[in-house]
Amino acid sequence: MLGLLILPAFGFAVQGLELVHADSLVLLNTDKGRVQNLYGNVQMIQDDAFLQCERAIFWEADDRAHLQDNVIIYDGKHTLWADQVDYEGITRIEKATGHVKVKTGDRLLFANRMVYNQETNVVQAQGDVRMEDWIKKVFLTGAFAVYNRAEDYGWIRGNPEMVMVDTTESDTLVIQGLKMEGWGKSQRVIVTDSVRIEKSNLFASCQKADYLADSSMLVLQIVPFVRQDRQEMTGDTIRINLEETRFSGGEILGHALVVSNDSTSNNWIAGRHISLEADGDTLRKVIVTGQAESRFYVEDDESDDTGLNTITGDRIEMHFDSSRVSWVQVQSDPGLCEGKYMPVVSDTLKTNPGSKQ
């Protein structure tokens, strides 16, 4: 996926440009050398690069060319389309402007302008930047992007947004923030500042999100919050496991809390560490360790009586069915498990454990 942050560039080699064909040529001799004005089906080569356009100006002495109208550059690995391309041989800088499109394998880059410096190996793309990977179904958009080919590192700003499409369902996972950074070799993206993550039944926010593509994991840090269906989760760090774009579990580290809301009650479970298991985007099981504590409401199907269970222990395992608690197990070693049941005779206000945040 992070290949989307690799903005392909078309580097010309040390050898100069060579004209292959033009329907017509106007040659001018100036005090700075010859200038070729080329028209109609212009074709030029430089090592492995093939250049094609409808009009071009070629300054031979400077090894500088201005290509325009249906510009195409192909080097065997990448193809670039643009309205205009300027190449400066001395500074080894390439500038593509107007409807820029670059194709590398199954990846596409779109921008209004792209600049590549061969000496520094830095690519800059700006103006309606869009990067697409149709194989992995990942799309990035933003206003400005920079990629360092030597370091295999890039970033994108200007309302950046990453969209991941589920290949088995008509659903998407959208990640937004103020800045996105990516490392190609490690397949990693970090999103910082005002991070929002959304899909059909999941919402998350934090100040820093780390997406690890190889392990399909999102790590949320600095005031992380997750709402998945009718469960809300908070902690110091929240790790979300993904299957395609579907929530498949994870864990909460430090001041861990899960609140489950249904139409009649508000249940919660808290501790130092919470392990989450989910199936098909639905939370099925929660395991809490370290000063585990839980409060949940139970109903007697025969009498319709409602009671409040409060339990503590070293380890609490809780199962859910349609967001309601269906089974609980408490363990302590060597300490004691404690539990308290209290009948509810009125519509008691049910609040979250404020001491846990």
The domain that holds 17 is classified in CATH as 2.60.450.10
Residues 128 and 195 both lie in one domain: no
Residue 166 has a CB neighbour count (10 Å cut-off) of: 17
Q: Is residue 353 part of a domain?
A: no
Residue 243, pLDDT score: 84
Q: How far apart are CA 303 and CA 309, in angstroms?
A: 17
246 and 164 Cβ atoms separated by less than 8 Å = no
Domain count, the chain: 2
**Pair (76, 215) in one structural domain:** no
Check whether residue 244 and residue 323 sit in a common domain: yes
Strand partners, 188: 183, 212
pLDDT in tens, 261-310: 765 667 788 999 999 988 877 888 889 998 888 887 666 555 566 667 78
Pairing of strands 188-199, 172-176: antiparallel
Task: Give the 3-state secondary structure of residue 48.
Answer: coil
Among residues 116, 132, 159, the one where a domain terminates is 159
DSSP annotation of 52: E
Nearest to 140 by CA among 154, 152, 123, 151: 154
The pLDDT score that the predictor gives to residue 10 is 47
Q: Following DSSP, what letter does each residue of 110-125 receive, concatenated?
A: EEEEEEEETTTTEEEE
CB 306 within 8 A of CB 299: yes
pLDDT of residue 94: 85
Whether 248 and 327 share a structural domain: yes
What pLDDT is stored for residue 321 in this prediction? 77
Length of the chain measured in residues: 357
Domain that holds residue 305: 164-348
Residues 187, 129 share a domain: no
Distance CA 331, CA 316 (A): 6
Please check whether residues 207 and 98 belong to one and the same domain: no
Whether 80 contacts 10, CB under 8 Å: yes
Q: Of the residues 159, 194, 228, which one is the last residue of a structural domain? A: 159
Residue 354 maps to a domain: no
Residue 271 belongs to some domain of the structure: yes
Residues with pLDDT less than 70, the chain: 1-15, 134-135, 169, 262-265, 297-307, 322-325, 334-357
Q: Are residues 259 and 134 in the same domain?
A: no
In a domain, 251, yes or no: yes
Looking at the structure, do residues 231 and 325 belong to the same domain, yes or no?
A: yes
Q: Which amino acid is at 57?
A: I
Q: Indicate if 59 and 37 belong to the same structural domain.
A: yes
Cβ-contact 109, 101 below 8 angstroms: yes
Q: Which of 115, 141, 159 is the last residue of a domain?
A: 159
- Whether 127 contacts 111, CB under 8 Å: yes
pLDDT at 58: 93
Residues 179 and 135 in one domain: no
How far lies 192's CA from each of 34, 89, 145, 283, in Å? Answer: 52, 38, 15, 27
Interval 78-123: pLDDT, tens: 888 999 999 887 777 889 999 999 887 778 889 999 998 877 878 8
Place of tokens 């309302």: 159
pLDDT at position 248: 87
Those residues whose C-beta lies under 8 Å from the C-beta of residue 269, and which sit 6 or more positions away, are 257, 258, 286, 288, 292, 293, 294, 295, 296, 316, 318
Classify residue 7: in a domain, yes or no: yes
Q: Verify that 40 and 104 share a domain, yes or no.
A: yes
Residue 357 included in any domain: no
User: pLDDT at position 324, please?
Assistant: 67
Token pair for residue 106?
A: 């199954």
Claim to verify: residue 144 and residue 196 sit in the same structural domain: no
Q: What is the pLDDT of residue 1?
A: 39
Interacting residues of 302 by C-beta distance below 8 A, sequence separation 6+:
none
Residues whose CB falls within 8 Å of the CB of residue 112, separated by 6 or more in sequence, listed in order: 97, 98, 99, 100, 126, 127, 128
